[in-house]
Chain A
Amino acid sequence: MQKEEKQQVATNPSKKKHQMSSEEIEETSPLKETLQQLRKNRMAITGFIIIIFFLILGIFAPILTPYGFEDQDPVNRLMTPSAEHWLGTDDLGRDIFTRIAYGARISLYVGFFAVIGALIFGTLLGICAGYFGRWIDMLISRIFDILLAFPSILLAIAVVAILGSSLENALIAIAIINIPIFGRLVRSKVISLREEEYVLAAKAQGMKNGRIILYHILPNSLAPIIVQATLGFGTAILEAAALGFLGLGAQPPTPEWGKMLADSRDFLQLAPWTLIFPGVSIMLVVLGFNLIGDGLRDALDPRMKN
């Protein structure tokens, strides 16, 4: 407590005089408050731990394992988990732990960029639709409706079929199918924000539309975007795995989790570990992101506080 006080004084010399009155206030800055709320949420912490675990796994993959993800070892095919191969080997004698570690890179990479792409375009379109309304809203909303009318995996397949199957194209496909999810979320938020009196007040002060959007609309609609983005990581990873499973995403020998599942499904009875470990990895990562997302939603929603 005292340390914090000192820090505040150090960073904010102008505040020395009224420390007592503003101290409580200072502690409730939005970011701090959200983090505090999150820290109280055990589920969210669990989610964080899971994601950090996979992040470390992905980043330090070359250090963590002596094998390469392409290294084949015909002698040691379909080995059970052992001290040498922690999670066993697959039908080509490749170390499954190594492939999962490198696979974490791919899944997190796809999840991150697909969500960022969907977020940027979805938010942009959603703000245009919500703020300007009229025919712009009509046009953008109908495009969203069309995108949502397809089952998402079918749409992704169509996109990949057009662009050709590769990891990058799968990423683009996943981004595209997630655009309307962000778009509609942002649009509905912007429509309610547009009617806020402070937006009218900003207009009455002579503020330009662009400035109002940047300065008032966007920051105020950030909370649901952040939550949706976190939850979106999970779905994007799941979709990437599904595309990989169908052979439309990452191409061999890329150690993509979905692809690993597909390659091993013939050995379900003979060597179940070849399926279980990639499957569990997918499940854990998605679970981790969902837990964080739920925790963030509770932390960012003022009605859920205390």
Chain B
Amino acid sequence: MPEPILSVQDLHTHFLTDNKEVPAVDGVSIELHKGEVVGIVGESGCGKSVTSLSIMQLVPNPPGKIVKGEIKFKGKNLTYATEKQMRKIRGNEISMIFQEPMTSLDPLFTIGNQLIEAIRIHQKVSKKDAKNYSIELLNLVGIPRASEVVDEFPHQLSGGMRQRVMIAMAMSCDPEVLIADEPTTALDVTIQAQILDLMRNLNKEKQTSILLITHDLGVVAEMCDRVVVMYSGKVVEEGSVREILKDPKHPYTKGLIRSLPNIRTTEQKLYSIPGTVMRPSLDQVGCRFAPRCEHSFDSCWEENPKLLKQESGRQVRCFLYDEEKSERGVTSNDKSYT
């Protein structure tokens, strides 16, 4: 396998709040290869967004800080990069689009103005060329009457159009990696599908690698090659989309998939995982999902489970798959499981 274009190794990003250190990202490792779409899934507050901001070195500091770990982009370690070096990478080689297309554009400037600005940060082109290129980009992302839209203000566009503009802006310098932080969450379902289509096309045509952050398993199923499931700052499961959706191993992933509404079942009530995400803390012992897990046994409360390698590149962080530990556990909860 070739060297990944972006690799995150054992990333720890902590936040200092009220004299307490909160490990928002606690030892996350992700690899992204050329032309690949990797999804990061998890519920609110599990560290998805902080992971993406860490990659861009945009974690607000203070209170946030990358305390440990390595972020390698094309062999360069970004954690050691200076602000100046980072600025050259941001938008140029790694681009990012955000959740709220409504607020991601400056309300005071026209679309063209902002696109031209974004283009001219990294490319030495005249304003006129930049404007023509902006129109080209807007056409590329499927905005009708692009030559007019360049002169319009953000409030004149719909949410879907603004998100297209954001994608156009992110694609303006042909980045090698696109980080999309819940790009479709604020949009309605039909627009969502269009935006996802657009991103998939860009991925196919330009071989842009995409790191897609979402809490929507449907989006993951549609877009991603591989998926990383996060819970409370840790990766709990990783594997190809197909296998994870078909055969989830970690109880949390199982719960997530069970809680999706299914058109075929006649169940009256939708399943939900009991309890809420606990706030990550440094002095916590045991599996973080244990309090909500229906299979938890003694070891789960006493030790941190390790990420276990499974067949075909899958990984799962659960004692149920640790042969030494789980003998007792699995047999004891097999009854309840069936």
Contact = CB atoms under 8 A, between A and B. Distances in A.
Interface of A: 14-15, 18, 21-22, 25, 30, 134, 196-198, 200-208, 211, 215-216, 219-220
Given A134-B62, A198-B106, A206 B90 contact: yes
Interface string B89-117: 11110011010100111111100000001
B95 A25 contact: no
B325 interface: no
Contacts of A15: 148, 151
A197 B95 contact: no
Contacts of B330: none
Interface of B: 56, 58, 62, 86-92, 95-96, 98, 100, 103-109, 117-118, 121-122, 145, 147-148, 151-152, 156, 166, 169-170
A268 to B, nearest CB: 53
Contact of B87 (A30, A196, A208): A208
A16 to B, nearest CB: 11
Contacts of A196: 103
B104 A201 contact: yes
Ranked 7 nearest A-B pairs via Cβ: A205-B91, A206-B90, A206-B91, A204-B96, A197-B103, A206-B87, A198-B106
A177 to B, nearest CB: 31
A18 B156 CA distance: 15
A205 B108 contact: no
Nearest to B96: A204
B98 A205 contact: no
B104 A206 contact: no
Contacts of A220: 106-108
A134 B63 CA distance: 11
Contacts of A203: 58, 90
Nearest to B87: A206
17 contacts: A14-B147, A18-B148, A22-B152, A197-B98, A197-B100, A198-B106, A201-B98, A201-B105, A201-B169, A203-B58, A204-B58, A204-B95, A205-B91, A205-B95, A205-B121, A208-B87, A220-B107
Contacts of A205: 90-91, 95, 118, 121, 169-170
A103 to B, nearest CB: 40
B156 A25 contact: yes
B118 to A, nearest CB: 5
Contacts of A211: 121
Nearest to A193: B106
Given A197-B98, A198-B106, A204 B56 contact: yes
B88 A206 contact: yes
A30 B110 CA distance: 12
Given A25-B152, A204-B58, A204-B95, A198 B89 contact: no
Nearest to B102: A197
A203 B86 CA distance: 10
B104 A22 contact: no
